[in-house]
Each structure stands twice: as structure tokens, then as C-alpha cells.
Amino acid sequence: GVFSLKLVRVSVPQYKVRGDMAILECVYDLGGDTLYSVKWYKDNEEFYRYVPRSDTIKQSYKLEGVRVEHHLSNDKQVALKSVNLKSSGIYRCEVSAERPNFSSAEGEGRMEVASTKLYLCCLITKIYTPHIELLF
């Protein structure tokens, strides 16, 4: 219908440093539909699901490089604790609505995890006087 589920934004941090926490956001608009589930995948493997009508509303699955912080995760975001190099990959969020529409929407983003922080130093060694030329 006109008022059906749509994905507003999927926000995956582009870069993280090993040991950081990563917050992945999935913002959607149900548009009158009822939420059935929100599922998160890393490289096409499911690692977290939020199903409001289920006995276990939040569930996470073992996946290398992915450790879900349950108390910071819900239907709109999933928190990954202490990311490592194996946490790098493509993260996808898939939102599904209940009947009668059974509509679904998905979006993804890539996260790269580096082993250490990288600092770039810029040293100014000489001041140049700009040369300005007027051309007519």
C-alpha cells in the first residue's frame, strides 16, 4: 500500500580501531505496518535478530569477529563490543513487516577495522609567498 515499510537509513561506521565498540544503526519507518523482525547480517551470515512477538525478543548467533552487546541493542541498532580485524566486512540490516503486507526493506554498509590508530603529522618546513598573476 501507500503506507508501507521503508528504510530511512542504515548507518555502519566506516572505520574502527581494534577494541572499539561499534554501533550499527537501522532506521526505518513502518508506515502503518506492524514490525515482524529486524535482522542483521555480516557478509550474508545472520548474527542478530529482533523479533518483538517472539519468546526471545533479541537473539544473537556466533560469528567470528562479532560479539553483540545485548543491553545496548534493540530494533533500531546493534552494538558490537570490542571489534577486531575479523569484524571487518559488509553489514546488512533487513526489516520485515507483519501480515497482511509482509513487506521488507534492507540496506548495508562496510566497516573496516584497523589494528592501531594512525596519526598523520603535517610539518610545515618553509613558507612560500604565493605568486599571483592576473590574466586578461
- pLDDT of the residue at 3: 66
Top-confidence residue, 6 or 121: 6
- pLDDT of the residue at 9: 96
For residue 80, the enclosing domain spans 6-114
Q: Mean pLDDT lowest for which of 48-52, 97-101, 108-112?
A: 97-101
Q: Stretch 17-39: mean pLDDT, rounded? A: 95
> DSSP letter at 121?
-
**Is residue 126 domain-resident?**
no
> DSSP letter at 128?
P
Residue 15 CB coordination number (10 Å): 13
- Tally the domains of the chain: 1
**Is residue 121 domain-resident?**
no
**Is residue 78 domain-resident?**
yes
CATH number of 58's domain: 2.60.40.10
**Is residue 134 domain-resident?**
no
**Is residue 58 domain-resident?**
yes
**Tens-digit pLDDT profile for residues 59-75:** 999 999 999 999 999 99
Give the whole-angstrom CA distance, residue 7 versus residue 89: 21
**Is residue 119 domain-resident?**
no
The chain-wide mean pLDDT, for the chain, equals 92
DSSP assignment of 46-88 equals EEEEE-TTSSSSEEE--BTTB-B-GGG--SSEEEE-S--GGG-
- pLDDT of the residue at 48: 99
- pLDDT of the residue at 119: 74
